[in-house]
């Protein structure tokens, strides 16, 4: 065998050896999938050592975490991050506070107090502010004020004297 043939055979063997050491796309895919398993919503595709990340996550931190998670995988040549960040959910506005009209407040409280037997309680309503006057026992006072608060006024002013 001449020297040229020997060098050619040696070069061929080295090429095969180096090619055989390079991880296959399927091995890279498996390693990438293991790394991404902790980050829901992201998938990866490997082609010739190039990784394309896709999917949808809730914020930029998760998008970046996916790319960082696969950095140490052997055989990756390039990473293309096509992961989309979801638009934030609109924040629900609290329901506006409902204040019943003065006439409705007065009528409902007068009826409630008469039905409960709370005699001697007078109710005045002005611009959503309920003013309670009269006398009551300590036990009844709490029920009277609670009933007024549940009727959805702007405010309750308690001027009731305890017997």
Sign of the alpha-carbon dihedral angle for 23, 24, 27, 30: positive
CATH 3.30.1340.30 positions along the chain are 23-85, 102-162
Q: What is the pLDDT of residue 18?
A: 53
Q: What is the pLDDT of residue 77?
A: 92
Contact 140, 158 (CB under 8 A): no
Q: What is the pLDDT of residue 14?
A: 62
- The DSSP call for residue 22 is S
- pLDDT tens across 9-42, in order? 666 656 555 555 678 889 999 999 998 888 888 9
CATH fit for domain 23-85, picks 3.30.1340.30, 3.40.50.970, 2.60.40.420, 3.30.360.10: 3.30.1340.30
* Spans of the chain, pLDDT less than 50: none
Please give the C-alpha separations between residue 135 and each of 47, 138, 148, in angstroms, as whole numbers: 86, 9, 15
Q: Which two tokens stand for residue 120?
A: 């001697």
Q: What is the pLDDT of residue 55?
A: 92
Q: What is the pLDDT of residue 98?
A: 77
pTM equals: 0.46
Q: Alpha-carbon distance 108 to 148, whole Å?
A: 9
What topology does CATH give the domain 102-162?
3.30.1340
**Residue that the structure tokens 């007065």 belong to:** 106
């Amino acid at each position: 065998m001449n020297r040229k043939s020997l060098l050619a055979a040696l070069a061929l063997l080295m090429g095969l050896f180096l090619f055989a050491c390079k991880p296959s796309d399927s091995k890279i895919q498996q390693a990438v999938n293991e790394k991404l398993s902790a980050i829901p919503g992201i998938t990866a595709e490997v082609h010739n050592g190039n990784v394309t990340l896709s999917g949808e996550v809730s914020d930029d931190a998760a998008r970046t975490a996916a790319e960082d998670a696969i950095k140490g995988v052997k055989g990756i040549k390039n990473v293309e991050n096509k992961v989309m960040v979801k638009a934030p959910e609109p924040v629900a506005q609290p329901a506006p506070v409902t204040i019943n009209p003065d006439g409705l407040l007065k009528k409902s409280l007068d009826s409630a107090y008469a039905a409960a037997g709370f005699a001697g309680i007078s109710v005045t309503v002005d611009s959503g502010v309920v003013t309670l006057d009269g006398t009551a026992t300590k036990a009844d006072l709490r029920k009277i004020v609670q009933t007024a608060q549940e009727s959805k006024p702007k405010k309750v002013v308690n001027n009731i004297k305890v017997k």
